[in-house]
Amino acid sequence: MVTAVDMTPLDTAAIRAQFPILEREVHGNPLVYLDNAATTQKPQAVIDSLTSYYSTMNANIHRGLHTLAEEATAAYEGVRQQVAELIGAASHREVVFTRNTTESLNLLAYTLGARLQPGDEIVLSAAEHHSNLVPWQLVAQRTGAVLRFIELNDDQQIDVDTARAAITPNARIVSVVHISNVLGSITPIAEISQMAREVGASMIVDAAQSAPHIAVDVDDLGVDFMAFSSHKMLGPTGVGVLWGRRELLADLDPFLGGGEMISVVTREESSWAALPHKFEAGTPNIADVIAFGAAIQFLNAVGMDAVAAHDADLTAYAVERMSRLEGLDIYGPADPSERSAVVAFNYRDIHSHDIATILDRSGIAVRAGHHCAQPLMRTLGVPATARASFYLYNERSEVDALIDGLLEAGERFGFDRGA
């Protein structure tokens, strides 16, 4: 169970107490975990859910008539309903479980992409993660479809004007990121969805960085499909979500074939199970899906609006403090209110890998590299960045520790700490 916590205002001390890993030390220093855009830490309730499943109801689902199978099936399908409610879906049958956001997007590229003809256009943005770029490149190579890109504006946000130019009557698919994992910029999805709808294109959104941090409603956004992952929102790894409008999913062919996704099989042909099982071949990741339900319960107890407000406050504080450091460049919108809980940066020409290594010696975990967004790095004119990313258990004192760690890194490379 999730321990009751007074969440108004957000009580980070009470929240942190529910995350065992935050008590550990790294290289003799308290852990400061600022790599949440890559994966988040897990509360005790999620850990307990995994243990409970394997200790009390371990069984395969949907097929068995014995008690354990029925209990496991009910728990698994209950999480599907939780996900539907979390994102405002019309039905739990619109929720498909995959391994991760990447698989969800590949499923769409495989199924929707098979229908494309030479000259059809796939519209992406300059800020896409490789997971929402490479699958569409493969589709274009197979079908002769053309990739078009929405560019960034001067504030390093996805530009609505270039979106309007990119989404032509030839567009069949528009697939864009909701919140950039590098820039933290928030895409005006509802506006772009309207443009896609006007030309009859399918609208897909990569919500890997938005679903964990803000309230997401698929109807308000006006999208056709959405993909996100459990592990970026307190849940286990190995669980992704694909949401799609029921009539659109029903019209797609299966992605994988095998057990569970069938209705009738003969030697010559097969027919498919009803939604969502048509897209869930084989034994799924039962324990981790059920534990994802515990993560959703935790987020619901906090409230997504409270999470968003906390993240916004912490991000604004980080941007303000980091902006004071001479020689530090921050990427993404200058106005902190226009970004989510991601701050990518470079400091004093020190390679991002060196920054991450030095910070790690102080127990501070950040990401360094191209963040699976090499085309975006080229657009920014840099080979890589360091990235600090925040979540509901982070505190201002951890931002202060980051600043001290950066100053120490500067000192090691011969820069004046006081500059």
Residues 80 and 148 occupy one common structural domain: yes
- What ranges make up the beta strands (E) of 285-384? 328-331, 342-347, 364-365, 367-369
Residues 167 and 261 occupy one common structural domain: yes
Looking at residue 25, what is its pLDDT? 97
- Active site (catalytic) residues: 372
**Cβ atoms of 181 and 128 closer than 8 Å:** no
Looking at residue 3, what is its pLDDT? 44
Q: Answer yes or no: is pLDDT of 267 > 50.
A: yes
Residues 279 and 362 occupy one common structural domain: no
Work out how many domains the chain is built from and give that number: 2
Looking at residue 418, what is its pLDDT? 59
Residues 249 and 347 occupy one common structural domain: no
Cis peptide, bond prior to residue 9, ω within 30 of zero:
yes
**Alpha-carbon distance 174 to 162, whole Å?**
13
On whether residue 33 sits in a domain, the answer given is no
**Alpha-carbon distance 173 to 248, whole Å?**
13
The larger pLDDT score, comparing residue 50 to residue 2, is at 50
DSSP state of 17: T
For 175-187, write each residue's pLDDT tens digit.
Answer: 999 999 999 999 9
CATH number at residue 265: 3.40.640.10
**Cβ atoms of 176 and 124 closer than 8 Å:** yes
**Alpha-carbon distance 129 to 180, whole Å?**
8
For 63-106, write each residue's pLDDT tens digit.
Answer: 889 999 999 999 999 999 999 999 999 999 999 999 999 999 99
pTM above 0.85, yes or no: yes
Tell me the sheet residues that pair with 227.
206, 242
Exposure letters 220-258 (e unless 16+ CB within 10 A, then b): ebbbbbbbbbbbbbbbbebbbbbbbbeeebeebebbeee
Residues 129 and 210 occupy one common structural domain: yes
Looking at residue 173, what is its pLDDT? 98
DSSP state of 2: P
On whether residue 25 sits in a domain, the answer given is no
Residues 314 and 225 occupy one common structural domain: no
Domain boundary among 249, 267, 300: 300
Domain boundary among 258, 275, 300: 300
Q: pLDDT exceeding 70 applies to what percent of the chain?
A: 98
DSSP state of 223: -
Rounded to an integer, the average pLDDT of 365-369 is 98
Residues 137 and 68 occupy one common structural domain: yes
Looking at residue 351, what is its pLDDT? 96
Backbone angles phi, psi at 343, to 5 degrees: -130, 105
Looking at residue 260, what is its pLDDT? 85
Domain residues for the domain of 194 are 49-300
Rounded to an integer, the average pLDDT of 264-282 is 94
CATH number at residue 395: 3.90.1150.10
Residue-wise DSSP of 152-209: B-TTSSB-HHHHHHHS-TTEEEEEEESB-TTT-BBP-HHHHHHHHHHHT-EEEEE-TT
Residues 144 and 269 occupy one common structural domain: yes
For 135-162, write each residue's pLDDT tens digit.
Answer: 999 999 999 999 999 999 999 999 999 9
On whether residue 178 sits in a domain, the answer given is yes
For 9-40, write each residue's pLDDT tens digit.
Answer: 789 999 999 999 999 999 999 999 999 999 99
Residues 67 and 112 occupy one common structural domain: yes
At residue 249 the predicted structure's pLDDT band, cuts being 50, 70 and 90, is very high
Residues 257 and 337 occupy one common structural domain: no
Looking at residue 400, what is its pLDDT? 98
Mean pLDDT of the residues in the chain = 95
Alpha carbon dihedral 222, 228, 232, 233, in 10-degree steps, equals 60
The Cβ-side half-sphere exposure at 87, using a 13 Å CA radius, reads: 31
